[in-house]
Copies of this chain bind each other. A is one copy, B any other.
Amino acid sequence: MDIFGKTMYPSLPEWSEILDDVLLNGNQEPIWNLAPPEVDDRPFDAVFVGGGGAGRFGGAFMRARGGRPLVIDKWPFLGGSCPHESCMPHHVFSEVAKELDLAKWFSGQLWFPNFEETKISILQIIELVKEGRSGAHALMNVQTKEQLDVEYVLNATAKVIDRSTVEVAGRRFKCKNLVLSTGVRTTFPDIPGIKLPGVFDFASLLSDLTYEPRRCVIIGGSKVAMEYGSFFQAAGVPTTILTRKPLMTTANLHHVDEDLRRYVVEMMELRGIEIIDGVEPVAVLGEDRATGVRYSKDGRQFDLETDFVFVATGEQPNVSNFVDALGVRLDDRGFIEVNKRMQTSVPGVYAAGDLIGPPMEQFKARHSGCCAARNIMGEDYEWDCEEYPDFLHTTYEVVWCGLSEAEARQKYGRVVKIQLPPDGLPHEHCAFPGGEGTMMLACRFPALTGFAKLVIAADSRKIVGAHYCGSGVKNVFQYLDHLIRRPGGITIDEMGALNELQINELFIQLCRLRSGAEILTDL
């Protein structure tokens, strides 16, 4: 189907029909949005192999700079896994988990029905996700074509022939550069039974689940394990997480504050999630389908019965294609090695997104795609993601940036903190930090409101870390991270000078309340 020159904007419903035809009916016809030679006959400055966050943003940035990009994706939409099977579903599931959690605590109170009698269907919630994501797909296709003026080929897999040739749907395209951004897939542990029906990951959960799980065992302790586990448990499916290391201690999560971690895990356990660490998965049990999981701990083996196994052990890159065709160098974990210009070991070949390793977050995908585009367009531009704000969901938003308290003490010596609840104060008598989204909990269940900590280097008075579990604050950390890391940083005094929007996450006013003192102390 050739859509170039057809104005799809604002006709989103047309796009939704096209997408449904692919996603529901299996239409395999490629979607061509290519300028004919009379419109643009320049060679492509780059072909972006993969149109997720990296490819879409990189392509748009290149186009804005006057270049000619071509973005190719196997899916019939741009944006990649994020709006289809990762970020977007995860956020819906996490919101559902939060809502169900509230309904459970207030069971039989106010207007809430008795929670025990509440019928929750995971299949219906998945249907809700599917209903929602096609709108996001349509918008990104429209925006990329009409507003950002980017050429693309969708619903067709790109084959890299060499570093200046890509084949897609029977046509070959020459390009000056390649940007590889084909993402990752779940690493399933290599144990017997892992391919049985009844074993899912975040992707197949959406495409393959046909029954209502009664019991869930999660293999792995990643963010995905915490997020989906919290959802399953909140939806009434008793959930066990089997993990090697305690939650939030994997190498992929940096700067995790121990007090934050403890609160988050305690709150998961309070909701009924069983967390077993120090564990190796041994096998998924069952003949025709999964009926249990066998794991070893402290030299002994245990079996857990379950009708639903969820794998959340991390991801591996989709690189084999490029290694064969291009010989790009991989790092010791199998990700494509790039420098701060996103250049691989092969001249003219760039890589971006999840393919270059963690953190596997949208900001990195998009930034790295744009970084590649800038360099291809002649700018000498370096980008790294050594430091960034991070987050996950349980039934809460869990967010952090900068240093943990322990890291700050090691680096700065004298450190003070602003913390809610303060050390030694029983949380059941302290409804702080309560705020947007936890006000009802604050009134009746103070200990469930959350946890907040601001870490301050006492001598310089600079804020060096922020940590929060609660609600309504996730987006704040995008800006807090910037304020902490901008040249000069931000002091407790400068923070106290901002204008807070009461009732808020409390950092600003607590800084003000404390900042009068010449010698800082904890609050």
Please list the residues of chain A having a beta carbon within 8 angstroms of any beta carbon in chain B.
9-10, 12-13, 16, 57, 60-65, 82, 87-88, 91-92, 94-96, 99-100, 102-103, 109-111, 113, 118-121, 124-125, 128-129, 131-133, 135-136, 138-139, 143, 147-148, 361-364, 366-367, 370, 373, 385, 388-389, 391, 397, 399, 422, 424-426, 429-432, 435-437, 439-440, 442-444, 446, 472-483, 498-505, 508-509, 512-517, 523
Contacts and interface: CB of A to CB of B under 8 A. Distances in A.
Number of copies: 2
B501 A443 contact: no
Nearest to A95: B439
Contact of A516 (B110, B373, B480): B373
Contacts of A426: 10, 12
Nearest to A16: B429
B444 A128 contact: yes
A515 B65 CA distance: 9
Contacts of A514: 64
A519 to B, nearest CB: 10
5 contacts: A91-B439, A363-B499, A364-B499, A385-B499, A436-B474
A370 B512 contact: yes
B516 A63 contact: yes
A505 B64 CA distance: 23
A498 B472 contact: no
Task: List the 7 shortest-distance A-B pairs measured between CB atoms, nearest first.
Answer: A132-B443, A64-B516, A362-B502, A12-B429, A479-B479, A61-B516, A64-B517
Given A92-B439, A124-B110, A131 B474 contact: no
A20 B150 CA distance: 65
A440 B128 contact: yes
Given A110-B121, A509-B362, A512-B57, A87 B481 contact: no
Contact of A475 (B139, B373, B475): B475
Contacts of A82: 502
A132 B444 contact: yes
Given A9-B424, A133-B443, A436-B472, 18 more contacts: A10-B426, A12-B426, A13-B429, A16-B429, A64-B517, A65-B516, A87-B502, A88-B439, A91-B439, A100-B111, A103-B111, A109-B124, A110-B121, A128-B444, A363-B500, A370-B512, A389-B499, A478-B508
A121 B110 CA distance: 7
Nearest to A494: B482
Contacts of A366: 500, 509, 512
Contacts of A60: 513, 516
Contacts of A478: 476, 498-501, 504, 508
Contacts of A430: 12, 135, 139
A54 to B, nearest CB: 12
B474 A12 contact: no
Contacts of A367: 499, 512
Contacts of A135: 429-431, 442, 446
Nearest to A424: B10
B503 A87 contact: yes
A186 to B, nearest CB: 19
Contacts of A133: 443
Nearest to A440: B95
Contact of A501 (B125, B391, B442): B391
A10 B120 CA distance: 41
Contacts of A119: 111
Nearest to A102: B99
A515 to B, nearest CB: 8
Contacts of A109: 124
Nearest to A359: B499
Contacts of A361: 501-502
Nearest to A60: B513
A151 to B, nearest CB: 16
Contact of A147 (B96, B397, B523): B523
A397 B476 CA distance: 15
Contacts of A509: 57, 362-363, 366
B479 A498 contact: yes
B102 A111 contact: no
Contacts of A99: 99, 102, 440
A442 B92 CA distance: 9
Nearest to A109: B124
A391 B472 CA distance: 14
Nearest to A483: B479
Given A148-B513, A426-B10, A436 B499 contact: no
A503 B514 CA distance: 33
A62 B517 CA distance: 9
A90 B310 CA distance: 41
A501 B363 contact: yes
A424 B8 CA distance: 12
A479 B476 contact: yes
